[in-house]
């Protein structure tokens, strides 16, 4: 291949490194109204009275909006395909405030100083209610987070607002109880993961204005432009035809921007004032009222025979939706279906779940999307099973892990048609020198070096739901324009899709001009989430290129007075096989835009009935200080099967970044609330994330399988890479200390105190 599987530089690399104005705030004009939100100090309260009279007199204030000034419609802020599985439980502004930071009023003014002044003098009388903060007690609790009668769920996800249930469900295959009774070894444990913030460099930000036709234009840092259009139409109660969404360059998303977080506030201001407006979340707001990973408690029962063959797996997930249900019904499913499918040979499975409302910040999408929490729990349990069996955890995986051609009953009955997990495990074991380092060794300075491991799988888009579309046109002078609806959020999808187009059209990647998302001009795409772009939109590129090649051949044959079946196209020219006459692509391009010519353009969409999983093996070497409990990651080895690697450089960076995030989740990131529901970790002073210096050596390699349903055999890579660090590090800590920590993060304090108790 000439373009695919090559480390080609990102299309936007030079613009980014030279500081070109490409982000939302760069594009917004200087005379935009500044929009901010007055936020609730209480976790559960009703607005009894709100007085904005004095605040409206502050010089420079354009408007102040309260719940009485906004549409009385409920919607979901989750960027998902219609009908959204997330309940319609949101209003732009509501009289009932359900978490600390819920919006009370929207203030817009000519500058930040005047807006801050107005915010400080708005008078609000609250009826403070008792909050429900403990998600383990939320189901059927007397305190209802959403008692309202106009709450509704569009999909049958087991939701019931009168029971504080955002979703509930069950999956059963075989008789788990019967199998567990016959097992020689059973592990039964509960694991707990907390909320995590995505902490993307660019916070939530949106700029809005009315165009010359009076239509609402949204320029926003979003992963889901077409979903934003629909959500805002619902929230503002206006037709979708009156909304245009444009996605500029995104400064990171990691799932946070798969929800409509900042868009509704400046959009409403622009609708009211007819003036351009922008809202940029502060870092504090991004922490306190973003869309973090859902907190979950996962109970695991796993049974094996005396030889270590896993016979039954039972998982129950309790997920904390927080105050609103964005992504609650969908993240929870991945905790079981993605985790249990790593062990597809068991005789019986049961997966049950409840997603509950509480008066804490609402959750959202974050890289891994529930699989991260589920894999931490199940892989930790499998490692505990290995310890009980006194078996090398690598050996236990070799006996049980899913293999090529196997039917994955817990993964919607899909067949594993592209699976290099066995080769990934073998290579990772060699890279980290597992046999010589397992399980641990004590150093002369009293510290302990130990290794740990974990497996992971994810998916490639949402089967039968995600749609990717592209349009390609041939321009005069013979270059192509590639219009896409997928959102490049720093991952390099613009480049990857251009590589695929270049491969199909036998041209240089620089001959493909890529245009980002504009809902007025781009073909429809569900957006960049669920690891869908390479697999779903990539196939749309392949299909579109086939169509445009046919048109080029047809036009060239006409110009050569030759039959279509007697010509070939080599990417540069059309050749008549009989006469050996040629016509260049440039000539064809010019002819296509002249009188008598035919415009050469093609558009195709793609969806898939399957979602082939990528696989990954992660192995870690840590150094543990027995006196302080401090854990340092010395070496992290990752081997990934993402099918054909489209761009090795971008795939490697994706993997390294995901591992770093996973290490942060495992060791540092600790969301905490006080007794009144106020978030304590609201800045980088309290919410610690790892820097590159904190994660030691990260080494990445690939074992390629070939996925027959993917473009050039490719699968996804974006999400899977975050899933192995937490269980692998927990495994290494056990090997070093004898402790199995089942709640994240695994801090030095927990380890030190646990070792003291262990000694007692």
- Kindly write down the DSSP assignment for every residue of 544-608, as one continuous string: HHHHHHHHHHHHHHHHHT--GGGEEE-SSEEEETTT--EEEHHHHHHHHTSTT----EEEEEE--
- Mean pLDDT over residues 714-726, rounded? 97
Question: 353 pLDDT exceeds 90?
Answer: yes
How does pLDDT run across 511-551, given as a tens digit for each residue?
999 998 999 999 999 998 988 999 999 999 999 999 999 99
| Joined tokens for residue 420 | 């290099």
* pLDDT over 70 percentage in the chain: 100
Does the structure show a pLDDT above 90 at 490?
no
pLDDT for res 733: 98
Torsion of CA 84, 87, 91, 96, to 10 degrees: -170
Q: Mean pLDDT throughout 186-211?
A: 97
* Cis before 82? omega within 30: no
Greatest Cα pair distance, the chain, in angstroms, is 92
Tens of pLDDT, residue by residue over 247-291, are 999 999 999 999 999 999 999 999 999 999 999 999 999 999 999
**Going by C-beta distance under 8 Å and a sequence separation of 6 or more, which residues neighbour residue 598?**
551, 555, 592
Instruction: Give 80-132 pLDDT, tens digit per residue.
Output: 999 999 999 999 999 999 999 999 999 999 999 999 999 999 999 999 999 99
pLDDT at res. 296:
98
For residue 759, pLDDT beyond 90: no
What pLDDT, in 10s, does the model give residues 134-173? 999 999 999 999 999 999 999 999 999 999 999 999 999 9
Give pLDDT tens digits for 356-385.
999 999 999 999 999 999 999 999 999 999
Pairing of strands 277-280, 480-484: unpaired
Average pLDDT over residues 578-597: 90
Torsion of CA 305, 180, 413, 84, to 10 degrees: -140
pLDDT at residue number 597: 72
Percent of the chain with pLDDT over 90: 94
Query: 489 vs 505, which has greater pLDDT?
Result: 505
- Residue 622: the pLDDT is 98
Is residue 182 classed as helix, strand or coil in its secondary structure?
helix
pLDDT at 223 over 70: yes
Res. 293: pLDDT tops 90: yes
* DSSP code, position 720: G
596 pLDDT band, cuts 50/70/90, is confident
pLDDT exceeds 70 at position 760: no
CB proximity list for 425: less than 8 A, separation 6 or greater: 394, 397, 398, 401, 455, 617, 639
């Amino acid at each position: 291949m000439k373009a695919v599987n090559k480390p080609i530089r990102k299309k936007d690399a030079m613009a980014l490194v030279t500081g070109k104005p490409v982000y939302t705030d760069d594009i917004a004009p200087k005379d935009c109204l500044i929009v901010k939100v007055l936020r609730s100090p209480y976790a559960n309260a009703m607005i009894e009275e709100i007085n904005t009279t004095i605040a409206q007199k502050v010089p420079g204030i354009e408007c102040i909006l309260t719940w009485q000034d906004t549409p009385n419609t409920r919607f979901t802020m989750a960027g998902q395909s219609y009908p959204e599985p997330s309940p319609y439980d949101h209003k732009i502004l509501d009289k009932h405030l359900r978490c600390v930071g819920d919006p009370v009023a929207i203030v817009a003014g000519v500058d930040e100083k005047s807006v801050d002044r107005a915010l400080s003098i708005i008078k609000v009388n609250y009826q403070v209610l008792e909050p429900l903060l403990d998600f383990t007690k939320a189901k059927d609790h007397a305190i209802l987070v959403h008692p309202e009668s106009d709450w509704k769920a569009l999909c049958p996800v087991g939701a019931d607002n009168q029971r504080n249930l955002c979703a509930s469900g069950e999956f059963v295959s075989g008789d788990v109880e019967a199998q567990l009774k016959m097992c020689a070894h059973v592990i039964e444990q509960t694991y707990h993961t907390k909320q995590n913030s995505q902490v993307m460099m660019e916070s939530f930000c949106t700029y809005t204005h009315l165009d010359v036709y009076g239509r609402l234009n949204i320029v926003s840092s979003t992963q889901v432009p077409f979903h934003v259009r629909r959500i805002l139409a619902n929230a503002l109660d206006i037709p979708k035809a009156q909304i245009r969404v444009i996605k500029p360059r995104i400064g990171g998303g990691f799932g946070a921007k798969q929800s409509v977080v900042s868009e509704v506030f400046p959009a409403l201001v622009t609708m009211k004032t007819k003036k351009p407006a922008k809202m940029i979340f502060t870092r504090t707001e991004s922490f306190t009222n973003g869309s973090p990973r859902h907190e979950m408690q996962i109970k695991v029962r796993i049974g094996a025979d005396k030889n270590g063959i896993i016979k039954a797996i039972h998982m129950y997930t309790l997920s904390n939706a927080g105050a609103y249900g964005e992504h609650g019904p969908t993240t929870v499913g991945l905790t079981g279906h993605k985790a249990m499918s790593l062990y597809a040979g068991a005789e019986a499975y049961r997966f049950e779940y409840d997603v509950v409302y509480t008066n804490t910040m609402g959750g959202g999408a974050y890289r891994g999307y529930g699989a991260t929490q589920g894999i931490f729990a199940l892989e930790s349990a499998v490692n505990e099973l290995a310890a009980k069996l006194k078996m090398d955890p690598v050996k236990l995986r070799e006996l049980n892990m899913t293999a090529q051609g196997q039917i994955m009953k817990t993964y919607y009955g899909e067949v594993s048609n592209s699976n290099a997990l066995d080769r990934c495990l073998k290579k990772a074991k060699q890279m980290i020198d597992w046999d010589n380092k397992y399980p641990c060794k004590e150093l002369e300075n009293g510290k302990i070096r130990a290794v740990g491991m974990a497996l992971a799988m994810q998916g490639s888009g949402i089967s039968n739901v995600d749609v990717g579309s592209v349009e390609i046109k041939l321009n005069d002078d013979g270059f192509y324009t590639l219009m896409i609806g997928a959102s490049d959020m720093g991952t390099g999808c613009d480049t990857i899709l251009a590589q695929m187009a270049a491969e199909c059209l036998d041209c240089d990647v620089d001959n493909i001009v890529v245009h980002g998302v504009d809902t007025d001009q781009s073909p429809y795409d569900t957006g960049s989430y669920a690891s869908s772009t390479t697999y779903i939109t990539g196939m749309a590129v392949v299909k579109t290129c086939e169509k445009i090649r046919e048109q080029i051949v047809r036009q060239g044959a006409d110009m050569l007075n030759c039959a279509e079946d007697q010509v070939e196209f080599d990417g540069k020219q059309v050749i008549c096989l009989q006469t050996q006459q040629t016509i260049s692509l440039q000539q064809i391009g010019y002819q296509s835009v002249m009188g008598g010519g035919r415009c050469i353009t093609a558009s195709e969409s793609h969806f898939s009935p399957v979602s082939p999983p990528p696989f990954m093996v992660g192995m870690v070497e840590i150094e543990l200080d027995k006196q302080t409990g401090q854990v340092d990651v010395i070496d992290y080895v990752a081997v990934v099967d993402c099918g054909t690697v489209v761009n090795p450089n971008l795939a490697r960076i994706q993997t390294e970044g995901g591992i770093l995030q996973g290490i942060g989740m495992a060791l540092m990131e600790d969301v905490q609330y006080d007794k009144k529901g106020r978030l304590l970790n609201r800045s980088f002073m309290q919410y610690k994330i790892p820097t590159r210096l904190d994660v030691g050596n990260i080494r990445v390699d690939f074992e390629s399988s070939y996925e027959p349903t993917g473009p050039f055999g490719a699968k996804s890579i974006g999400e899977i890479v975050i899933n192995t660090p937490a269980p692998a590090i927990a495994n290494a800590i056990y090997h070093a200390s004898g402790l199995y920590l089942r709640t994240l993060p695994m801090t030095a304090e927990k380890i030190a105190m646990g070792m003291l108790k262990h000694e007692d």
